[in-house]
Chains A and B, each alone.
Chain A
Amino acid sequence: MPPKSRFTRLDAFTKTVDEARVRTTSGGIITIASLLIVLWLAWGEWADYRRIVIHPELIVDKGRSEKMEIHLNITFPNIPCELLTLDVMDVSGEQQVGVMHGVSKVRLAPQSEGGRVIDVKALDLHSDEDKATHLDPDYCGGCYGATPPPNAQKPGCCNTCDEVREAYASVSWAFGRGENVEQCEREHYGERLDSQRKEGCRIEGSLRVNKVVGNFHIAPGRSFSNGNMHVHDLNNYFDTPIPGGHLFNHQIHYLRFGPQLPEELSKKMSTKTSYWTNHHMNPLDDTEKITHDPAYNFMYFIKVVSTSYLPLGWENQDAHPGDNEVGLGAYGHLNDGSVETHQYSVTSHRRSLNGGDDSGEGHKEKVHARGGIPGVFFSYDISPMKVINREERSKTLTGFLTGLCAIIGGTLTVAAAVDRGLYEGGTRLKKMQSKNL
């Protein structure tokens, strides 16, 4: 036996000499049971440690001069592409500057003929199509009193029907079907328009806009600004040979601001409160609106909330690539796997341009405004708050180890106490019984 040191008294782990030790069946059962319990709890602790939770944070959006991408895909079954225009404006009604376009118009066959795709054409502000290349190089078409467009093929001339239309728009004249306009009759503008009357149109693509309050709308006719007014040339829309006229029925396949998060992430984020919320599910996706009135106006009031998603390996690196370096559609995906996107909440509203009340929906007290432009209007507002969804481990390694120790120690100590109690109770009983005997 080693010499008794001073610390021997301090031994917290007093050991019973083997001769004085008792092993009992109840003790064995308790040992096994407690071991099982420890294993079970430790497994739970491990699962807890491995779990990745998504921790939302709310901050004030401090970004400056940011851009935002709008991805849209909307089908209009009753309006030909020729008639539709897409305008992006900021809150004051001025055209937004620096909008990057990547939107195309897809001509769809009439629904009675199956609605297949006829033709895809990029929606561009100034397309080079329908060039009058077969014309005499010295030809200079007149603009019929309107100012020639500044970007005409030949300065000071209106050589194509499009240029005449643009010239008309710039001075706020209605254009109509182009009767008596030489360029348009040559290009068969009116006939082409009439032949397309039954077609539908799908507008799909992306826009990159400044992250300021604004709106974009899809309305018939060429648009032009007249002082403070934003006006569309509605002549061709209302003056149509089709029975029932063109309708602004539309199906929104998707409308989102910024990139879409992968499916599994949205699943991971769904919690008990998900009944009320849409974790990165865009509320307008796959919605449809139907009207039977050509003069009808649909409005969507959208509130955009910036959201970023930071995965587990995310590190705070300022690797924001320059805005212009990234192609459309890639904006918001950063190299470290984090995603900068936007969620939105939306309120929809619809009214007839003739005013009237909402008695059809049981709200006869609602009196709609009169007038305006038929079309689909999206006005978006940017929230000052930003949501950060950060992936985190629910426990650190030390936290896990602490929990493990607590489980093992706690269970074993309590089991020891229970065992001791059983043993001592048993011996007392035995003593009493032997006395009684």
Chain B
Amino acid sequence: MNGFAGHGLDEDAFGEKGNIVSAFDAFPKSKPQYVTRTSGGGKWTVAMLIASFLLISSEFLRWWRGHENHTFAVEKGVGHNLQINLDIVLAMHCNEIHINVQDAAGDRILAADMLKEDPTNWSQWVDKRGMHGLGKDSQGRIVTGEGYHEHEEGFGEEHVHDIIAAAGGGRKAKFSKTPRLRGGPAGGDSCRIYGSLEVNKVQGDFHITARGHGYQEWGAQHLDHNAFNFSHIISELSFGTFYPGLLNPLDRTVSTTPNHFHKFQYFLSVVPTVYTVDSSTYGSSTIFTNQYAVTEQSHIIGERAVPGIFFKYDIEPLLLSVEESRDGFLRFVVKVVNVFSGVLVAGHWGFTFTEWAITVLGKRRRQMSEGVLNGRAHESYD
């Protein structure tokens, strides 16, 4: 305070005489005795302040939110494997099913060796919250599942930082434990198949079929056709690193059928996706995952065909990169300065214009009222 005052005094003492620095002063300041303050000007000042406050706050919000940048590119490097994570409950006993992958490279992958199979009860899964048919609930309405309102269907609408937060920042994710059998028949009536397996990164067909149907096997007992029930609940089906928090289109979907010979087919197009957040608050983090588009088809088949659940997947060559970033703080400051000064200048002009308009109109009115001697005009002027 004192320092400033001293400075001020100094300026009073020497400033008027004009030292070298003050010669550069380009901003016109008038001595206080020449400055008038009008109520019109005060109103304009207040209006200007409000306007600039509104504009700056909206500018700030926009800056804070950042912007998302969608780009695409062709994937780098020579690919080998693709991880599939799945968690499916099938209304059949575990020893009655076969899980295999066949792909364009000619390989057959015995997926059952890599996946865990636990007996469970259908009723323990079907009522879980959030479970729904593909895009529909039991009444056929489209729902996204109770308790999951923060996630829109798919994650196209979400912000990148939400997706990265949901992915959990690289922690090693695990599948949840199978709940203990409660009620129902002993040994359970269904089978939960879960785990991750690596397949060749080529077009392929992942399928769950009944024992003794579809594959030639030695010593496999023929399974009674009445045991077939390919009703299933998909809790998780994703490609790439397992991020349980990310919602994929097939997650938490139920498909039921009363028929024994039913074929469920899912056609999946896998799109590799990179999400990047680059900002001060979230830090810079990147996750590499795969999204997919899915079409479902299911129909009754004849007794000669092979019933089951078939996931046919293909990998798109183009990689999608979604990047959320925020401009630098300096850029924001420059913007704020621009907005503020713009409003200031516009306000000044507005003030001058209104003053001018009032004087000109006032003069004319006065002339008119004097010249035409009309009482009404006089009234209106008042």
A residues in contact (CB < 8 Å) with B: 6, 9-12, 14-16, 20-32, 41, 56, 58, 271-273, 275-279, 281, 283-284, 287, 299, 301, 303-305, 307, 343-349, 351, 358, 363-369, 372, 381, 383, 385, 387, 406-407, 409-417, 419-420, 423-427, 429-430, 433
- Asked if B109 lies at the interface with its beta carbon under 8 angstroms from chain A, I say yes
Q: Quick check: A410 and B338 within 8 Å, CB to CB?
A: yes
Assess A365 versus B317: contact at CB under 8 Å? Given A272-B278, A347-B79, A348-B79: no
Task: Say how far B252's CB is from chain A's closest CB, in angstroms.
Answer: 27
Across the A-B interface, how many residue pairs have beta carbons closer than 8 Å? 243
Could you tell me if A409 and B342 are in contact, using CB atoms closer than 8 angstroms? yes
Which residues of chain A are within 8 angstroms of B81 by Cβ–Cβ distance?
363
Q: Which of B176-202 contact A (CB under 8 A)?
A: 197-198, 200-202
Tell whether B321 is near chain A: CB-to-CB under 8 Å: yes
Chain B nearest CB from A305 CB (Å) reads 5
**A23 touching B23 in the complex, CB below 8 Å, given contacts A344-B74, A410-B337:** yes
Contact A56/B71 with A31-B27, A365-B113, A426-B11 known, Cβ cut-off 8 Å: yes
Q: Looking at the complex, which of B1-9, B230-238, B243-251 is the stretch in contact with chain A? A: B1-9
State the Cβ distance, B19 to closest chain A Cβ, in Å: 6
What is the bound-complex CA distance between A429 and B10, given in angstroms? Answer: 12
**At the interface, yes or no: B107 with Cβ under 8 Å from chain A?**
yes
B194 to chain A, nearest CB (A): 16
Is B214 an interface residue, CB under 8 A from the partner?
A: no
> Considering the chains assembled together, what is the distance between the CA atoms of A228 and B72 in angstroms?
39
Q: Given A10-B353, A347-B79, A364-B113, does the pair A430, B9 have CB atoms closer than 8 Å?
A: yes
Contact A368 to B334, CB < 8 A, known contacts A31-B26, A273-B321: no
Bound CA span A368–B348, Å: 80
CB distance A24 to B11 under 8 Å?
A: yes
Q: Determine which of B29, B200, B202 lies in contact with A27 in the assembled complex, contact meaning CB atoms within 8 Å.
A: B29
Q: Give the residues in chain A near B78, CB-CB below 8 Å.
A: 283-284, 287, 346-348
Q: Quick check: A9 and B359 within 8 Å, CB to CB?
A: yes
> Out of B11, B110, B344, B349, which one reaches A417, CB within 8 Å?
B344
A367 touching B34, Cβ below 8 Å: no
Determine the chain B residues whose CB is within 8 A of the CB of A11 once the complex forms. Answer: 352
Which of B21, B278, B341 is A409 in contact with, Cβ under 8 Å? Answer: B341
Q: Could you give, for residues 214-233 of chain B, a 1 whenever the CB lies within 8 Å of some chain A CB and a 0 otherwise?
A: 00000000000000000000
Q: How far is the CA of A25 from the CA of B201 in the complex (A)?
A: 71
Known: A284-B78, A344-B74, A351-B106. A20 touches B317 (CB 8 A): no
Q: Which residue from B27, B198, B319 sits with its C-beta under 8 Å from A415?
A: B27
- Return the chain A residue nearest B110 by Cβ: A365
Are A369 and B106 in contact (CB-based, < 8 A)? yes
The distance from the CB of A430 to the nearest CB of chain B, in whole angstroms, is: 5
Contact A9 B341 (CB under 8 A): no
* Known contacts A24-B22, A276-B274, A409-B342; A429/B106 CB under 8 A: no
- Given known contacts A32-B24, A410-B338, A426-B8, what 15 new A-B pairs fall within 8 Å (CB)? A9-B359, A9-B360, A22-B30, A24-B29, A27-B29, A277-B75, A281-B76, A344-B74, A345-B79, A346-B78, A365-B197, A366-B108, A366-B110, A411-B337, A417-B341
Q: Are A272 and B323 in contact (CB under 8 A)?
A: yes
Q: Per-position contact with A for B9-38: 1 when CB-CB < 8 Å, else 0? A: 101101110110111111111111010000
Task: Take A276-B73, A416-B27 as given contacts and tell me if A344 and B345 are in contact as well, using a CB distance cutoff of 8 Å.
Answer: no
- A271 to B8 CA separation, bound complex (whole angstroms): 52
> Given that A273-B321, A277-B321 are contacting pairs, would A23 and B73 also be in contact in the complex, using a CB cutoff of 8 Å?
no
Question: Does B111 reach chain A (CB closer than 8 Å)?
Answer: yes
Name the residue on A nearest B14 (C-beta).
A25
Interface centre among B25, B202, B353 (most CB of A within 10 A): B25
- Size category of the B interface is 35 or more
- Once A305-B74, A347-B202, A351-B107 are accepted as A-B contacts, the answer to whether A414 and B341 lie under 8 Å apart by CB is yes
**Known contacts A23-B22, A31-B24, A278-B76; A406/B338 CB under 8 A:** yes
* B28 lies within 8 A of A15 (CB): yes
Distance (whole angstroms) from the CB of B344 to the closest CB of chain A: 5
* A344:B341 contact, CB within 8 angstroms: no
Instruction: Say what secondary structure dominates the interface of chain B.
Output: mixed
Complex CA–CA separation, A364 to B25 (angstroms): 82
Quick check: is B373 within 8 A (CB to CB) of the other chain? no
Q: Sort A-B residue pairs by CB-CB distance and give the 5 closest, nearest first.
A: A413-B341, A27-B25, A277-B73, A369-B106, A303-B317
What are 19 pairs between A and B in contact, CB < 8 Å? A9-B359, A25-B14, A32-B21, A56-B73, A275-B76, A277-B319, A301-B104, A347-B79, A349-B80, A365-B114, A366-B200, A387-B74, A406-B342, A413-B345, A414-B337, A414-B340, A419-B25, A426-B7, A429-B8
**Nearest CB of A to B363, in Å:** 9
Complex contact B74–A277 (CB within 8 A): yes
When A299-B105, A419-B29 are in contact, do A345 and B8 touch as well, CB less than 8 Å?
no
Per-residue CB proximity of B321-359 to A under 8 Å, as 1/0?
101000000000010011011101100110011011001
B156 at the A/B interface (Cβ < 8 Å)? no
* B198: chain A residues within 8 A (beta carbon): 363
- Shortest Cβ gap from B157 to chain A (Å): 20
Query: Given B5, B29, B71, B340, which contacts A21 in the complex, CB threshold below 8 Å?
Result: B29
Whether A367 contacts B29 by the Cβ 8 Å rule is no
Residue among A28, A304, A409, A425 with max Cβ neighbours from chain B (10 Å): A28
B77 at the interface (CB under 8 A from A): yes
Q: Which residues of A contact B341 (CB under 8 A)?
A: 409-414, 417
- Asked if B5 and A429 sit within 8 Å, CB to CB, the answer is yes
Docked-complex contact B28 and A277, CB < 8 angstroms: no
Question: Is A21 within 8 A of B202, CB to CB?
Answer: no
Which residue on A lies nearest to B19, using beta carbons? A25
In the complex, B288 has a CB within 8 A of chain A: yes
Instruction: Chain A residues near B348: list those with CB within 8 A.
Output: 12
Judge whether B293 is part of the interface by a CB distance below 8 angstroms: no
Q: Complex Cα distance A199/B340, Å?
A: 78
Q: Which residues of A contact B323 (CB under 8 A)?
A: 272-273
Residues from chain A with a CB closer than 8 A to the CB of B288 are 276
The distance from the CB of B52 to the nearest CB of chain A, in whole angstroms, is 11
| Chain A residues closer than 8 Å to B34, beta-carbon distance | 16, 20
